Amino acid sequence: MSTLAAPLAKLDLSPTRVYANLAPARLIEMALARGEGVLASNGGFVALTGDRTGRSPKDKYLEDTAAISSKIGWGGFNSPITPDKFDIALNIAVDHLNSRKDLFTFEGFVGADPKNRLCARVVTEQAWHSLFIRTLFIPQGSKAAGPNAQWKHEGGWTILNAGKRRLTTEEQAQLGVKSPVIIVQSLTRKLVVIIGTEYAGEMKKSLFYAMNFDMPEVGVFPMHCSANVDKKDPTNVALFFGLSGTGKTTLSADPNRALIGDDEHGWSDHGVFNFEGGCYAKCIKLSRETEPQIFDAIKFGSVLENLEIDPVSRVPNFDSQKYTENTRATYPLDYIPDAVIPSVGAHPKNVIFLTADAFGVMPPVSKLTREQAMYYFINGYTSKLAGTELGVTEPQPNFSTCFGAPFMPRPAKVYAEMLADKVAKHNADVWLLNTGWTGGPYGTGTRFSLKYTRAFVSAILNGTLRNAKFSPDPIFGLPLPDQVAGVPSEVLNPRNTWKDGNAYDAKAKELAQRFRDNDKKFDMPQPVRSAGPKG
């Protein structure tokens, strides 16, 4: 086994105490023997993550060094930590991991494109965490890695997961934090330290954060999106941008299309490629009837987080929110029939922004001009859905820059300009699709039916919606189609779905003002700013 760089030299990864790159069956066997979880009747390994059942963005910090400081969009989710405090957290994690009887390591790849990928080593104290990361990223020697893939740690990333070790009050004072949980990341050292949270999604998103910093340096646009392709037309690639719970995984798992990936991708000069080798799906209210591909992908080798199961039959209760609404399932990409492996595709023809509008006033579907695409991408309007972050218990209207603010280290304009350049160069159509509420806000209206949402997506991808007649919404200025196959015409204009038109106007103008308040934070060209709401 190769040794880690000097700052981590005291971490004991000797072969006698480290289980390296174990196969899924062996990891499951060890996790069961260690009491880390149980097997569900469908074969999925079920683990609980304690009080942290979602990401903890307020507990994440980025090491501020001269090498990267000017490249970071500080503020918001990018909170600085000094190198000396980073070292304090690092030493706590190393000491804790050294105190364990044994450890697990995964050594693999982030990025399906061999020309644009990172090597990563993930060190965990729990077997199921190693299974999780193996499920989601690209193991050495796998078909997803491609032929002759060479892994090397030099220049690669390291994650140290000491999730079972919480900070003491004294340590919190030393670090200047007020929580027993801390996640620190260094873009200079290429190192992530996780302390105090067993929520495995922190590992996944830390590697996404790394790609979002590294990829623009080589001209690759990193994206918080899913991607799929028509099974009969490899040039018909589609991207689905959106925050957790807005439909990226659900809408990209289409029996008529091949899945490239469900969450994180890059767009290079050659096309799109998946950063991952697996999927991380929300599974609240999951059923075979509504999402058959995802339902059937949960089997032996998959991981279920915070899901209640019957103590006798071990049948999962996908409707249960006993631990959280943010119940999750991971599974390798090849558990989805006809998935594209290695996960690469052509340049997309359609780019779809998914917004879960909790106000219930956004149009269900709109075709965006170039300026509107930049405006709505920069603002990234959606709703945080229950359970995806600590403290979120019901949908909350939210502006998340580039539809992924917690994962974007660079200033928003870097990513927005890359989007505009890629869309223009490859003549892609951009759409805004509301997967949120209709007929009223959250609590009064209802969420758009998946049947209608899939009808909108089908019309986009088969090209029929591109040629529809559009008229501008008077408040948002977004083009509304006159008809969409399989969708009642009254649904297409959100005002028509409200019992009280005046109430709709008031709520729509309130959201329009929120857009205007939010866009003041950004340096936009005037044509882009003018493409925002009119009301």
**Residue 142 known to be catalytic:** no
Instruction: Give the whole-number percent of the chain exceeding pLDDT 90.
Output: 88
Fold designation for 223-277+341-529: Phosphoenolpyruvate Carboxykinase; domain 3 (3.90.228)
User: What one-character-per-residue DSSP string does 407-460 give?
Assistant: G--S-HHHHHHHHHHHHHHHT-EEEEEE-SEESSSTTTSEEPPHHHHHHHHHHH
CB atoms closer than 10 angstroms to residue 473: 21
Residue 149's closest CA among 121, 110, 106? 110
Specify the pLDDT at position 253: 86
Of 135, 158, 249, 252, catalytic:
249
Specify the pLDDT at position 386: 60
Q: What is the mean pLDDT of residues 503-532?
A: 94
**Residue 334 known to be catalytic:** no
Specify the pLDDT at position 53: 96
Task: Name residues whose C-beta falls within 8 Å of residue 319's C-beta, 6 or more positions apart in sequence.
Answer: 284, 285
Instruction: Give the whole-number percent of the chain exceeding pLDDT 70.
Output: 96
**Residue 426 known to be catalytic:** no
pLDDT at 1 over 50: no
CA dist 109 → 122, 322, 433 (Å): 11, 35, 32
Of 244, 268, 400, 435, catalytic:
244
Candidate from 186-195, 368-377, 384-393, 519-528 with smallest mean pLDDT: 384-393
Query: Which pLDDT band, with edges at 50, 70 and 90, does 341 fall under?
Result: very high
Query: Which pLDDT band, with edges at 50, 70 and 90, does 415 fall under?
Result: very high
pLDDT: which is higher, 336 or 249: 336
**Residue 263 known to be catalytic:** yes
**For the chain, what is the total number of helices (H) and then of strands (E)?**
12, 29
pLDDT at 236 over 50: yes
Residue 511's closest CA among 475, 458, 474? 475
Distance of alpha carbon 222 from alpha carbon 208, whole angstroms: 9
Of 328, 347, 384, 507, catalytic:
328
Specify the pLDDT at position 46: 98
Q: Where are the alpha helices (DSSP H) in 10-161?
A: 24-33, 83-99, 127-136
Tokens representing 114 are: 């061999």
Three-state DSSP class for residue 279:
strand
Residue for token digits 């925002």? Answer: 532
**Residue 179 known to be catalytic:** no
**Residue 244 known to be catalytic:** yes
pLDDT at 2 over 60: no
Specify the pLDDT at position 491: 94
Confirm if 408 and 241 have CB atoms less than 8 A apart: no
Tokens representing 198 are: 């067993």
Distance of alpha carbon 481 from alpha carbon 472, whole angstroms: 9
Of 49, 53, 55, 497, catalytic:
55
Task: Give backbone dihedrals phi and psi of 127, rounded to 5 degrees, phi first.
Answer: -65, -35
124-162, pLDDT tens digit by residue?
Answer: 999 999 999 999 999 999 999 988 899 998 889 999 999
SS (H, E, C) 139-194: ECCCCCCCCCCCCCCCCCEEEEEECCCCCCHHHHHHHCCCCCCEEEEECCCCEEEE
**Residue 248 known to be catalytic:** yes
Q: Are strands 157-162 and 191-195 parallel, antiparallel or unpaired?
A: parallel
Specify the pLDDT at position 7: 57
112-134, pLDDT tens digit by residue?
Answer: 999 999 999 999 999 999 999 99
Residue for token digits 């170039």? Answer: 370
Of 248, 265, 410, 495, catalytic:
248
Q: How does the average pLDDT of the chain come out, rounded?
A: 94
26-81, pLDDT tens digit by residue?
Answer: 999 999 999 999 999 999 999 999 999 999 999 999 999 999 999 999 998 999 99
Q: What is the mean pLDDT of residues 449-462?
A: 95
Of 117, 121, 205, 384, catalytic:
205
**Residue 299 known to be catalytic:** no
Three-state DSSP class for residue 96:
helix
378-408, pLDDT tens digit by residue?
Answer: 999 987 766 555 665 666 778 999 999 999 9
pLDDT at 3 over 50: no
Distance of alpha carbon 138 from alpha carbon 384, whole angstroms: 29
Distance of alpha carbon 379 from alpha carbon 402, whole angstroms: 7
